[in-house]
Amino acid sequence: MGSPLLTTTGAVEAGAPDAGVALHYGDPVREQRALARGDGLVDLSHLGVVTIAGADRITWLNTLSSQLLLDLAPGVSSEVLLLDVHGHIEHAPAVQDDGETLWLITEAASAEPLAAFLDSMRFTLRVEVARREDVAVLGTHAGGWSRLTDHEAHLLTWQDPWPRVGAGSTSYGPEEAEHPGIEFHRAFSLVRREALTAVVAAAQQDGARLAGVWAWEALRIEARRPRVAREVDERTIPHELDWLRTAVHLDKGCYRGQETVARVVNLGKPPRRLVFLHLDGSDHLLPEAGAEVTLGERTVGKLTSVARHEELGPIGLALIKRNVDPEAELSVSGIAAAQEVVVRPDGVTDVRPAERPGAGLRRRTI
């Protein structure tokens, strides 16, 4: 079912994975500028919301996920990865506790399988899992969420930690101060769905304007921020997307997929790496997400996200083979693409042991 905000004058509905909300409202350039300065409000009511209630909720999610949550205080924003046994990413929900309930924000297509997985892992613990279709998500940037907090229908606001490296984590990309996303300050605000239009109307009276997911995605891509619905396939491990920096604690206890996370950090290298692409815009064409990325005649990866940025022009994210020369000019659907490194080609982090574990041991002579 589509959002009621699609009846807004000029609204054009987005396609998957954002079907049900507006791609834009007739002026995507001005919408993006408004969003970047903190005046834009994005309808993300198609996203999924799952809650976990009960006395064991935090310790329980801590045992299942990649993040250390034991000291998670009410109102603090975090994110977790839920991996399969081979370390592949299955879910990456935003997480915040309100003192009584854990709130998880996830992709539209992920809400049902996420809730089903969590429900299957309850056993005898004091937790209750629920999908919250009565709650809608609104997106803002640059502190725009402050317009929403005084409304009686506002429940909480999650502030994105990207790209800051969390305690106990590491990164495969630029240092925080040099990261292109360091000024990326987006937020998800949860409101009661029945009051969605009223909340938006109140924000508009306070100077906000609606912006579509075109603008939202352009700023995400600019910040090199990975997204499950775009950058993740059945083989993706967190290292390939530099997702350890905000969602993985390397010193916490055992969880599903931890062996792969530790092995790649300490001994291996990610087989692929995320890159930012500047696409040639001279023909005014955008390739489709999912298109092959080629180097000469050789396919080296795929385009995962693409948008037209109001300053940078056509931009994208792509997942390519790690050993591709970072200086090489690539091509996407016949369109020239220049790389910027997101995940370093050497595939090594600053926490990797200088010497392979066990390398100093010698076989005992009998």
Annotated binding site: 183
Strand-pairing partners, residue 94, are 79, 105
**Nearest residue to 224 via CA among 188, 172, 266, 268:** 172
Count CA atoms closer than 13 A to 186's CA, side-chain side. 27
Ordered alpha helix ranges (H), 70-174: 111-120
Distance CA 216, CA 227 (A): 12
Count CA atoms closer than 13 A to 267's CA, side-chain side. 9
Residues in contact with 185: Cβ distance below 8 Å, sequence separation at least 6, in sequence order: 141, 142, 143, 159, 160
Look up residue 199 and give its amino acid.
V
Distance CA 23, CA 231 (A): 19
Q: Residue 64 CA to chain centroid, in angstroms?
A: 19
**Nearest residue to 220 via CA among 178, 181, 187:** 181
Binding residues for substrate: 183
